[in-house]
């Protein structure tokens, strides 16, 4: 406890963020924005922002850290947390918690594994989580949006209709995943309902400041912004563990090697990462690598943990 206090007092987050931004400047603009969702393809790949929220809710940022971007798969962490908080362990009979080693939207493992997705952070697994959250709440995407507004303290957070509709219009692969799981009896609600909530969930826009703040319950071992408890200590630890092993898809090993933190990426170019007991980090830069993770975002988190020596290892 004493050591932790010393470490926290010694951390000059603003100075570190400025150093990180300077160090990764050559990588900003690398990679390509997601092209399979047309509404995301037009975002300028040279944007870059990063924020840190400490467990007391103080936020520091650099670059475009107040600029809203498309959350996409980062929402999968939040729907998982809400589903576990309401439905408990029962979810794990319907989705695994092993790294997939496959792209986030892959269909190949589903048939071999009888419609049970490998983990909640690939698209198939996230569709199962959204299906369960829909069953538990009757309106999964609104429940998520409300939670993000409350935790971020930003009541202006909203869905992006253009992004949701763009994704729905080009959503054949997600529809295939959902129908395939329905064929195995692993969808409780009608497929169109689940897809609707999934696309709207992914379309939520938020800034690095919003995201880092909204994710603080993961750094606070399950405790929300209003001091109530969303998750047990053990549930919060387990979500962080699944983020570490599965949060960046088939690059999770490399992410753990380079960054050493639980993290979750999205094809909007954002990544959230957690230092349990200390802070939450959020970074955004739209250029993606071949696995769908932000090039400059991963580089910035790598630099942050290298400069500070912070990691979960
Ligand atoms: N909405 C995107 C999809 O379903 C999310 C993918 C991602 O961010 N990795 O393909």
* pLDDT tens by residue, 215-257: 999 999 999 999 999 999 999 999 999 999 999 989 999 999 9
User: What's the chain's length in residues?
Assistant: 313
Q: How many CB atoms lie within 10 A of CB 111?
A: 11
Ligand 1 atom index nearest CA of 267: 8
Q: Is the pLDDT of residue 3 over 50?
A: no
41 CA to centre of ligand 1 in angstroms:
13
Q: What pTM value is reported for the model?
A: 0.96
Ligand 1 atom index nearest CA of 73: 8
Ligand 1 atom index nearest CA of 36: 10
* pLDDT tens by residue, 120-133: 999 999 999 999 99
Tell me the mean pLDDT in the region 257-285. 98
* pLDDT tens by residue, 92-122: 999 999 999 888 888 899 988 899 999 999 9
Residue 163: band (very low, low, confident or very high) from pLDDT cuts 50, 70, 90: very high
Count of CA atoms in the C-beta half-sphere (13 A) of 312: 22
- Confidence (pLDDT) at 2: 39
Contacts of 290 (CB under 8 A, 6+ apart): none
Burial 15-30 (b: 16+ CB within 10 A, else e): ebbebbbebbeebbbb
Q: Is the pLDDT of residue 87 over 90?
A: no
167 CA to centre of ligand 1 in angstroms:
9
Residue 88: band (very low, low, confident or very high) from pLDDT cuts 50, 70, 90: confident
Residues touching ligand 1 (Cβ under 6 Å) are: 72-73, 104-105, 123, 167, 174, 202, 266-267, 292
* pLDDT tens by residue, 11-53: 899 999 999 999 999 999 999 999 989 989 999 999 999 999 9
- Confidence (pLDDT) at 101: 87
Q: Which domains does the chain have, with CATH numbers?
A: 8-308 (3.40.710.10)
11 CA to centre of ligand 1 in angstroms:
34
Q: Identify the residue whose C-alpha is closest to ligand 1 atom 4.
A: 123
73 CA to centre of ligand 1 in angstroms:
5
Backbone angles phi and psi of 206, in degrees to 5? -155, 165
Ligand 1 pocket mutation, candidates 196, 204, 267, 298, criterion most atoms within 8 A of CB: 267
Tell me the mean pLDDT in the region 195-218. 98
Provide, rounded to the nearest whole percent, the portion of the chain with pLDDT above 70.
97
Residue 5: band (very low, low, confident or very high) from pLDDT cuts 50, 70, 90: very low
Nearest residue to 202 via CA among 33, 37, 29: 37
The average confidence (pLDDT) of the chain is 95
Ligand 1 pocket mutation, candidates 167, 178, 265, criterion most atoms within 8 A of CB: 167
């Amino acid at each position: 406890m004493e050591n932790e206090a010393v470490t926290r007092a010694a951390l000059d987050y603003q100075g570190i963020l400025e150093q990180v931004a300077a160090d990764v400047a050559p990588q900003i603009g690398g990679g390509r924005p997601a092209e399979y969702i047309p509404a995301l393809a037009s975002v300028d790949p040279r944007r870059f922002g990063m924020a840190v929220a400490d467990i007391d809710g103080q936020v520091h940022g650099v670059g475009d850290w107040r600029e809203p971007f498309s959350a996409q798969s980062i929402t999968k962490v939040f729907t998982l947390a809400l589903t576990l908080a309401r439905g408990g362990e029962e979810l794990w009979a319907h989705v695994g918690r092993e790294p997939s080693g496959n792209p986030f939207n892959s269909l190949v493992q589903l048939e071999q594994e009888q419609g049970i997705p490998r983990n909640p952070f690939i698209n198939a697994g996230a569709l199962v989580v959204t299906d369960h959250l829909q069953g538990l709440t009757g309106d999964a995407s609104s429940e998520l949006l409300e939670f993000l507004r409350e935790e971020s303290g930003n009541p202006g957070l909203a869905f992006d209709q253009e992004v949701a509709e763009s994704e729905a219009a080009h959503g054949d692969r997600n529809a295939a995943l959902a129908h395939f799981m329905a064929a195995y009896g692993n969808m409780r609600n009608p497929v169109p309902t689940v897809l609707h909530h999934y696309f709207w969930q992914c379309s939520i826009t938020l800034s690095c400041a919003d995201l880092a703040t909204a994710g603080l319950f993961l750094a606070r071992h399950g405790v929300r912004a209003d001091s109530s408890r969303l998750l047990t200590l053990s549930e919060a630890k387990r979500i962080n563990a699944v983020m570490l092993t599965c949060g960046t898809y088939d690059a999770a090993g490399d992410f753990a090697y380079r960054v050493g933190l639980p993290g979750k990426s999205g094809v909007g170019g954002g990544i959230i990462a957690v230092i349990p007991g200390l802070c939450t980090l959020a970074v955004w830069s739209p250029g993606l690598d071949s696995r769908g993770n932000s090039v400059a975002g991963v580089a910035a988190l790598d630099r942050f943990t290298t400069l500070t020596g912070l990691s979960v290892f």
